[in-house]
Chain A
Amino acid sequence: QVQLQESGPGLVEPSDTLSLTCAVSVYSISSTNWWGWIRQSPGKGLEWIGYINYSGSTYYNPSLKSRVTMSVDTSKSHFSLKLSSVTAVDTAVYYCARYERRGYYGDYWGQGTLVTVSS
């Protein structure tokens, strides 16, 4: 069973860059899947942030595209998210997920990590 685990700072200051990593285990990150990030802000629904494949191709949510950068490190079997110029509205539980090869649904998810943006 594919396992994904998010990690990163739980507190980020406004205007800084949020950085998270998702470790993938029991599965090759170099397979033909997409590796994605999704978040849920307090009181709101899920929001797709984007995904990346093993070769570094990316698709981002148009509303976040200007602030998002994703990367993948196949040697360490992990992929990462950077979200720049954060504000309080970026406070959320961030999930990583494996998307099937077409990229239409996430079939394995991490448990999520809470990131709070505050000074």
Chain B
Amino acid sequence: QSALTQPASVSGSPGQAITISCTGTSSDVGTYNLVSWYQRHPGKAPKLMIYDVTNRPSGVSNRFSGSKSGNTASLTISGLQAEDEADYFCSSYTTSTSLVFGGGTKVTVL
């Protein structure tokens, strides 16, 4: 299966809101509400931020929210903070009974 498509980079100023898109196909994102998002700081373990498109795990700030429309899922970070600067990856379940990830998006806080 092909990787999900994410923008290589997104930037914003502190306090702003940014949105990262994750585009798949009818074989993954478009069929299942099983998209998850991960944050990874350099040299650190990836951290689950959103699961099942819109759900936040306990302990994740409510500044992070997820949504989906058709074949595209999105992660929105509101009230951008310096600590949000990291790489973000999306993932989806697929009709091949497997999982697929996106190429990753580097978020820069200006």
Contact = CB atoms under 8 A, between A and B. Distances in A.
Interface residues of B, number: 27
B3 interface: yes
A45 B46 contact: no
Q: For chain A, give the interface size range.
A: 20 to 34
B44 A111 contact: yes
A62 B51 contact: no
A47 interface: yes
A38 B101 contact: yes
A54 interface: no
A25 interface: no
Nearest to B98: A61
Given A62-B96, A62-B98, A104-B51, A48 B57 contact: no
Interface string B74-94: 000000000000000101010
A6 B19 CA distance: 32
Nearest to A3: B45
A110 interface: yes
A100 to B, nearest CB: 8
Contacts of B57: 107
B20 to A, nearest CB: 13
Contacts of B54: none
A48 B100 contact: yes
A45 B36 contact: no
Contact of A45 (B3, B34, B44, B99): B3
Contact of A105 (B36, B45, B97): B36
Interface string B38-73: 100001111110011000010000000000000000
B97 A48 contact: no
A104 B52 contact: yes
B89 A45 contact: yes
A57 to B, nearest CB: 12
Interface in A1-56: 4, 38, 44-48, 50
20 contacts: A4-B45, A38-B101, A45-B6, A45-B89, A47-B101, A48-B98, A48-B100, A50-B98, A59-B97, A62-B98, A97-B46, A104-B34, A106-B36, A106-B38, A107-B48, A107-B51, A108-B48, A109-B45, A109-B47, A110-B45
